[in-house]
Structure 1
Amino acid sequence: MIVVSEFRPHPLLRSPHAQTVFASVVRRPAPLDVRHERLELDDGDFLDLAWLPEPATAADDTPVVVILHGLTGSIESKYARGLLRELRGLGWRGLLMHFRGASHEPNRLPRGYHSGDTGDFATLLTRLRERYPRAPLAAVGYSLGGNVLLKYLGERGSRAPLTTACAVSVPFDLALCARAINQGLSRAYQRHLLGNMRRAAERKFAVVTPPFELPDLTRLRDFHSFDEALTAPLHGFDGAADYYARASSGPFLKDIRVPTLVLHARDDPFMSPDVVPDESRLSADVRLELAAQGGHVGFVAGDRLGRPVYWLERRIPAFLRERLTAAKAAEPQTECAPG
């Protein structure tokens, strides 16, 4: 269930920070045409979806792949655009689900999204199943989105409507990750993300009345203080510790019943190596491919000419294709009546 990854880093990008920064900052975004859809929710809020154009060869059983972005991510995230481009090449349907408030427009309710928020993803899958009753559904989650995906799969077990799934650079234990990213050079990532989170909160509560008096956001300088003051009370948790305990995906891994690939690097600068679960905590349906290097949603390899290769965009489609092909082959065949 835990195997050594085949990933090898680019010779000039061996450090975790080089891997992380090159993939998220230096890399040019993949050109991509998308169509936008607003999904209205029963509580009066909405989710914004970014779809690939309908494939020319689409059929009733063309796969649908949902991408879940990371913290402060969106359709502009380079990993999402890169994977969607690969899905387009396969002739599959693909979409990115923006968590509440993560698109260009603040969501309507005071609440937003968090690392354990599986309800909106479940709603989306229900709507997709109604729209495409014969299509296999798959999902790919990155970082926070990977945590949401694995937690959802564990909650639903064999009732999950997904045929297969993949999660990348997952913070399996949120409390450990909050401590790790508050140390050393990793604090630069925390500072960047918190800046995005503060600005999003300011935009949101300029148009939406907060349910309580907001603290001075400039004084929230680590994830724990931000989650204690904002994330937890906005989403019904009794403080940051309660949020971390209930939203972490680690305790749900044993209950996953969908073939799932987890890709992780031991040198991920967003967390420490001790967040990685051992085999006793994994379901037999989970394959954890563990790389010594790769950073956080990095995994930048090189070709023979030294050009960067975004390895995740090779490994993930290969796994999805393998599992979807196996699932199709296992379907009972309808026999034609004689005569």
Structure 2
Amino acid sequence: MAHFKPAWWLNNKHLQTLFPVLLPQKLNLNLVREFLELPDGDFLVLDWTSNKQENLPLIVVLHGLEGSSDSYYIKRIMSAAQKNNFRAVCMHFRGCPNFNKKIKILKTYHAGQTADVQFFLNFLITKLKISQPIFAVGFSLGANVLLKLLGEYKEEIFIKAAVAVSVPFDLSLSADRMNTGFSKIYQWWLLRSLKKKLKLINIFKDLEISELELKKIKSFWQFDDKVTAKLNGFINVHDYYKKSSSKQYLKFIKTSTLIIHSIDDPFLYPQGIPNVNDVSASVELEITSAGGHVGFVTGNIPFFPKFWLEQRIVQYFTQSK
């Protein structure tokens, strides 16, 4: 077990998950935005910290489903990076952040979409000529993408060390968990955002479903079957989940990697969490008994939180320099 002690006043998984969202820290980050064109004509949005020293190590940050550089957890890790002598860049998945005019959205991002991240990493080395160590951290969906990338690519991927947080290792178990109990609230909120985006880009011809049919979708199982799988070349939702779940790739990871995950994560059933027999010797598991989903809030005084997660990530990267 990792050395994380949850705040006594945030003593269940949903409080840990929701507190950072509902009462976020006020962090003023002066980010510099850049657009990177992909081979198919779509774009990635890159938000860089404004560190002037280009000779600092770089942390590549991958957000979760419908996240962005404006998400509380992205702001905190990028702020922590700056304070600890790192540069950081948030690579938004295609179609994110929402409704940017530059974005074409030729296809959607998804939990197994590693090609765009690989293209971005190659861009850092071949175009920007970055010579300092490159680290990567992924959260939730972004963590699944990162782990899959690390396990599936045999060639060098230019990452010295990686951290994956609150990972939906098994997408079918994650979809089941999200369709149960209070977790249905998280599912509803995320589906609401995804549906809104699809309406704005008017992609119904490609999907062969009506706006009314889209409205009736209530679960990730349904959405990923009727939308994600169809738009991204999968046979169906089962094919998508089977091919995109990161758990099967963990044994093949050669990069030094830390996985931080809580047993009480409301986005995944505990049986989906890997054990030491599921991972390579390069992977370190820090499985906590509490912490929720991208929560990990500690502190003894109510409403004066301490955010353990970002400090642990930066500590790991500092030790890996």
TM-score (norm 1): 0.90
Spell out, residue by residue over 1:150-197, the C-alpha distance to the aligned partner (whole angstroms, 9 max, x if none). 000001246221000000000000001101110111111111111111
Q: How far 1:305 sits from its partner (Å)?
A: 7.9
Spell out, residue by residue over 1:102-136, the C-alpha distance to the aligned partner (whole angstroms, 9 max, x if none). 11426324311000000000000001012134211
Say if 2:122 is the partner of 1:122. Answer: no
CA contact (8 A) 2:147 2:164 kept: yes
| Whole-Å separation in 1 of the counterparts to 2:155 and 2:278 | 17
CA contact (8 A) 1:35 1:52 kept: yes
1:45 maps to a residue whose letter is D
| 1:281-296 alignment, distance < 5 Å | 281-296=278-293
CA contact (8 A) 1:180 1:272 kept: yes
Could you say which residue in structure 1 is the equivalent of 2:296? Answer: 299
Could you say which residue in structure 2 is the equivalent of 1:320? Answer: 317
Instruction: Name which of 44, 48, 51 aligns with 2:48.
Output: 51
CA contact (8 A) 1:49 1:98 kept: yes
Could you say which residue in structure 2 is the equivalent of 1:105? Answer: 100
2:235 maps to a residue whose letter is D
| Whole-Å separation in 1 of the counterparts to 2:89 and 2:131 | 17
Say if 2:253 is the partner of 1:256. Answer: yes
Could you say which residue in structure 1 is the equivalent of 2:268? Answer: 271
Which runs of no fewer than 5 residues in structure 1 stay unpaired?
325-339
| Whole-Å separation in 2 of the counterparts to 1:312 and 1:133 | 27
SS of match in other structure, 2:182: helix
CA contact (8 A) 1:157 1:258 kept: no
Could you say which residue in structure 2 is the equivalent of 1:153? Answer: 150
Could you say which residue in structure 2 is the equivalent of 1:193? Answer: 190
Say if 2:131 is the partner of 1:134. Answer: yes
Say if 2:247 is the partner of 1:214. Answer: no
**Cα RMSD, aligned residues only:** 1.5
| Whole-Å separation in 2 of the counterparts to 1:74 and 1:90 | 22
Could you say which residue in structure 1 is the equivalent of 2:90? Answer: 96
CA contact (8 A) 2:225 2:236 kept: yes
SS of match in other structure, 1:5: coil
Change in Cα spacing, 1:53 to 1:282, as seen in structure 2 (3 Å) is same
| Whole-Å separation in 1 of the counterparts to 2:205 and 2:46 | 25
Structure 1, 237-246 or 84-93: larger mean CA deviation: 84-93
| Whole-Å separation in 2 of the counterparts to 1:158 and 1:8 | 39
Could you say which residue in structure 2 is the equivalent of 1:327? Answer: none
Could you say which residue in structure 2 is the equivalent of 1:87? Answer: 81
Could you say which residue in structure 1 is the equivalent of 2:167? Answer: 170
CA contact (8 A) 1:29 1:82 kept: no
2:123 maps to a residue whose letter is R
CA contact (8 A) 2:138 2:144 kept: yes
Instruction: Name which of 59, 62, 76 aligns with 2:70.
Output: 76
Give the number of the structure whose alpha-carbon radius of gyration is greater: 1
TM-score (norm 2): 0.95
| Whole-Å separation in 1 of the counterparts to 2:205 and 2:254 | 39
| 1:237-248 alignment, distance < 5 Å | 237-248=234-245
| Whole-Å separation in 1 of the counterparts to 2:207 and 2:166 | 34
Spell out, residue by residue over 1:36-91, the C-alpha distance to the aligned partner (whole angstroms, 9 max, x if none). 00001111111000110133x432xx211110000010111000001101111123
Which runs of no fewer than 5 residues in structure 2 stay unpaired?
none
Moved over 6 A (4+): none
| 1:31-50 alignment, distance < 5 Å | 31-50=28-47
SS of match in other structure, 1:202: helix
| Whole-Å separation in 1 of the counterparts to 2:143 and 2:255 | 14
1:280 maps to a residue whose letter is N
CA contact (8 A) 1:30 1:85 kept: yes
Structure 1, 244-253 or 108-117: larger mean CA deviation: 108-117
